[in-house]
Amino acid sequence: MSTPKKYLQFIFPFFNTKRTKEIFRINPTVIPVREEALDISIYVYDYNSTYLKEYDLKSTEDCFPFRDNNNNSWINIDGIRKADVEAICNHFGVHYLLMEDILSVGQRPKMDEFDGILFCLLNMLYFNDVNDAIETEQISIVLGNNFVLSFQEYKDKDVFNHLRDKLRISTSKQRQSKSDYLCYSMIDLIVDNYYNVLEKLGEKIELLEEEIIRFGNTRSLARINGLRKELIVLKRNMVPVRDMVNGFLRTDSELLEERTTKYFKDVYDHIVQANDLVENYRDMMINLQDLYMNKVNLKLNEVMKVMTIVTCLLAPATVIGGVFGMNFEIIPLTHQTEGFYVALAMMILIPIWMIVIFKKRGWF
């Protein structure tokens, strides 16, 4: 037998719990299964201060020579397939545990150091204006001697276009520095893009606040719950990044120059500020929920106030009608011609007098 809840999502789509299941479906005790990409794309930026060459490779073996060519190489792999990831990681000396992290699904942002390799994993965030939802894409970054490997899930979008433009400028900081600065630049762009998502979410919260003040219906409450779920996604993906960046600040790896380490302090400040904004938005959502409940209570009070006033105004007519309707033989004015008009006048004049009194006391 079908339940009303089954059809509720068609009557009022805001009650759909699909988004809730997507957010809380991660179970660390169950090994998730990644759906392998149908194909992969490998883009290589091989450069130094005076040289830049871009490559669009078709196979994993084509990127192997960039390990020891004495240039800085950024090898970006779009699409995750186990065989390709294992081949690349084995050639570039990436530890097996790091390889498992790259192939993982729903991994917590982290930073590790194995066998002269620095590894970090975090999520790129995008705001979907159609669904008012935050989308995530896991990216793994491997920093080695003169090379950076980046593994992305999808090839249709990322946040690195600005970095690619910088690499094409010979006088840019990216071209004049080593691969560790490239790694910093990638993390910095990912963190900076968090602010774009926060800005979009802030706009939604402002519009929702105005909607609650003007209308405050059930749809508003559903939108409050929807945005609170997106804040959970933000907090889950952004809070651990602070510890990840702090790992770069505390490491003694020779892969990071001292001047580059200082730049990570700037990223650390940015992610701390972003986390503070998330907490502010969370407080705003709690305030909006309180505002909605207060407005609902205010509406209820207004309705009860009107109904109470109407009841009070009708009370004299009820009393007068009840008196003249009593089953007694002798009632004043009952058998007189003007009796009806006297009773009717009293039923009208007394409520009018009550309205004047209520107005003077400011009851409505």
- Percent of the chain clearing pLDDT 70 (strictly above): 91
**Mean of per-residue pLDDT scores for the chain:** 86
Domain stop point among 257, 272, 295: 295
Please give the model's pTM, rounded to 2 decimal places: 0.80
306: CATH:
1.20.58
Domain stop point among 295, 319, 343: 295
Report if residue 10 sits inside a domain: no
Contact 72, 182 (CB under 8 A): yes
Give residue 37's pLDDT band: very low, low, confident or very high (50, 70, 90): confident
Domains: count for the chain? 2
Gap between the Cα atoms of 262 and 273, Å rounded: 17
Asked if residue 343 and residue 288 are part of one domain, the reply reads no
Reported in sequence order, the residue ranges of the chain that DSSP labels E, i.e. its strands, are: 41-47, 52-57, 72-78, 110-114, 117-128, 133-144, 147-152
Give residue 350's pLDDT band: very low, low, confident or very high (50, 70, 90): confident
How would you class 212 by CB atoms within 10 Å of its CB: exposed for 0-12, middle for 13-18, buried for 19 or more? buried
Asked if residue 198 and residue 344 are part of one domain, the reply reads no
Greater confidence (191 vs 17) lies with 191
Asked if residue 246 and residue 133 are part of one domain, the reply reads yes
Report if residue 18 sits inside a domain: no
Report if residue 291 sits inside a domain: yes
Domain stop point among 259, 275, 295: 295
Asked if residue 323 and residue 235 are part of one domain, the reply reads no
Report if residue 351 sits inside a domain: yes
175: domain range?
Answer: 35-295
Burial 53-91 (b: 16+ CB within 10 A, else e): eeeebeebeebeebbeeebbbbbbbbbbbeebbbbbbee
Report if residue 6 sits inside a domain: no
Q: Is the pLDDT of residue 28 over 70?
A: no
Report if residue 158 sits inside a domain: yes
Q: pLDDT tens, 121-137?
A: 999 999 988 888 899 99
Contact 26, 106 (CB under 8 A): yes
Asked if residue 285 and residue 205 are part of one domain, the reply reads yes
Q: Specify the pairing of strand 72-78 against strand 147-152.
A: parallel
Report if residue 8 sits inside a domain: no
